[in-house]
Amino acid sequence: MYQRTINRPVEVVGIGLHKGESVRLRIEPMDADSGIIFYRSDLGRSIPLKTESVIDTRMATVIGTPDGYISTIEHFLSALYAYGIDNLRVILEGNEMPIMDGSAISFCLLLDEAGLRELDQPKRILKIRRPVEIREGKKFVRLEPSETASFDFEIDFAHPAIGRQRFRFDFTRRSYTEEIARARTFGFARDIQYLQSQNLALGASLENAIGLDDERVLNSDGLRYPDEFVRHKILDAMGDMMVSGYNLLGRYRSFAGSHDLNHKLTLALFAESANYEIVTLGTAKVPHYERCFA
């Protein structure tokens, strides 16, 4: 299996979640072994996608530096993970990704429009060799060795529309578009009102998120999946794992995980070389991945 990029440049315009301003996103193909590079065209600054580039995880995953960053990259990265994209230039005119409809499906459609192209170098994946866990109270995130790639997430919200939900997702590109990609981010009306008073979440609306009051879902069209909330958490987790620059061969598990815990997990993973192995497909046979992107 070989590294992938896109076939041709494409672009889209959307609204930024926090500033509420129009954001132009353009993606361009890159050569093998280039990696995924974000570029702030308004600053003339490149930001490579890697764990060390993360500077904030409080409300979203943010990469760069305080004077030149890009926020809310996780939904876009989740789509890149699903499509097996290894090399890409991501050009933005501002400091956040467009939120689109609050899920990853618009980015999947953008990649479909661009088309995929295989390059002349074999794909590399990140194989989990030893269990690695981050735990804070009852909350935890964990990576475990496995010969397949899966994401197992559980949440528990004291809200009648959510409650306790668990979903295990066995990764393939096709199942991602059917089971995960359309799951939207969600927020509580009381929290959105406070954030907007602080000049945050100015672009948030029922067009790009599931809104909840104290008792019910506010969106007139309801939910896309009965357990859309936990499926979106898996979508986020896939994006956060993609910050490493690799697809994973292993099992991700979480209870009440977050962007912050996911970032701490990747830092802990790379802290000891015995935790992982970078496997070159073609040199090593990994039948699971040959099926994942078929």
CA-nearest of 189, 185, 254 to 215 is 189
pLDDT at 294 over 80: no
Helix (H) or strand (E) holding 10: strand 10-15
pLDDT at 293: 78
Chain mean pLDDT for the chain: 94
Mean pLDDT of the region 23-28:
96
Query: Sign of dihedral through CA atoms 237, 238, 243, 244?
Result: positive
Distance of alpha carbon 231 from alpha carbon 233, whole angstroms: 5
pLDDT in tens, 47-86: 999 999 999 998 899 999 999 999 999 999 999 999 999 9
What is residue 194's predicted lDDT score, i.e. its pLDDT? Answer: 77
Q: Please determine, for residue 162, whether its predicted confidence score (pLDDT) is greater than 90.
A: yes
How confident is residue 245, by pLDDT bands cut at 50, 70 and 90? very high
Q: Compute the distance between CA of residue 85 and CA of residue 20 in angstroms, rounded to an integer.
A: 28
Predicted confidence (pLDDT) at residue 215 exceeds the cutoff of 80: yes
| Structure confidence at residue 152 (pLDDT) | 98
Buried b or exposed e, range 162-174, using 16+ CB within 10 angstroms: beebebebebbbe
Token representation of residue 103? 């899920």
How far apart CA 157 and CA 155 sit, in angstroms, is 7
How high is the pLDDT of residue 39?
A: 98
List, by residue number, the catalytic residues.
259
What is the model's pLDDT at position 200? 72
The domains located in the chain, with CATH, are 2-122 (3.30.230.20), 125-292 (3.30.1700.10)
* Residue that is written with structure tokens 């970078």 in the block: 278
Say how far apart CA 264 and CA 142 lie, in whole Å: 10
